[in-house]
């Protein structure tokens, strides 16, 4: 069975290069001081890890 690998680099490219997500997050009051590219990447990596290790095995036939 093929194992799911989250397209992390693609998601990082879209968020950072196309959408400039850090700039938009910095405008939100809760994130004004703490938002950075590293923080966004950490959230993406955690979400990718969850999808690959927890959700993907649940998507088996049978």
Instruction: Tell me whether residue 1 is in a domain.
Output: no
Residue 48 neighbours by CB under 8 Å, 6+ apart: 6, 8, 11
State the total domains in the chain. 1
Instruction: Tell me whether residue 13 is in a domain.
Output: yes
Given a cut of 70, whether residue 20 has pLDDT beyond it is yes
Q: Which domain holds residue 12?
A: 8-58
Residues 19-28 have a mean pLDDT of 87
Report how far residue 54's alpha carbon sits from residue 59's, in angstroms, rounded to the nearest whole number: 10
Instruction: Tell me whether residue 2 is in a domain.
Output: no
Report how far residue 16's alpha carbon sits from residue 5's, in angstroms, rounded to the nearest whole number: 20
Instruction: Tell me whether residue 3 is in a domain.
Output: no
Instruction: Tell me whether residue 53 is in a domain.
Output: yes
Report how far residue 13's alpha carbon sits from residue 37's, in angstroms, rounded to the nearest whole number: 11
Instruction: Tell me whether residue 31 is in a domain.
Output: yes
Per-residue model confidence (pLDDT) at position 14: 97
Percent of the chain with pLDDT over 90: 53
Give the Å distances, CA to CA, from 9 to 35, 47, 48, 58.
Answer: 19, 13, 11, 24
């Amino acid at each position: 069975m093929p194992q799911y690998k989250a397209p992390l680099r693609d998601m990082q490219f879209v968020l950072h290069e196309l959408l400039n997500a850090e700039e938009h997050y910095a405008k939100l009051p809760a994130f004004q001081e703490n938002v950075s590219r590293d923080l966004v990447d950490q959230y993406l990596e955690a979400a990718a890890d969850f999808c690959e290790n927890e959700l993907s095995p649940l998507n088996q036939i049978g």
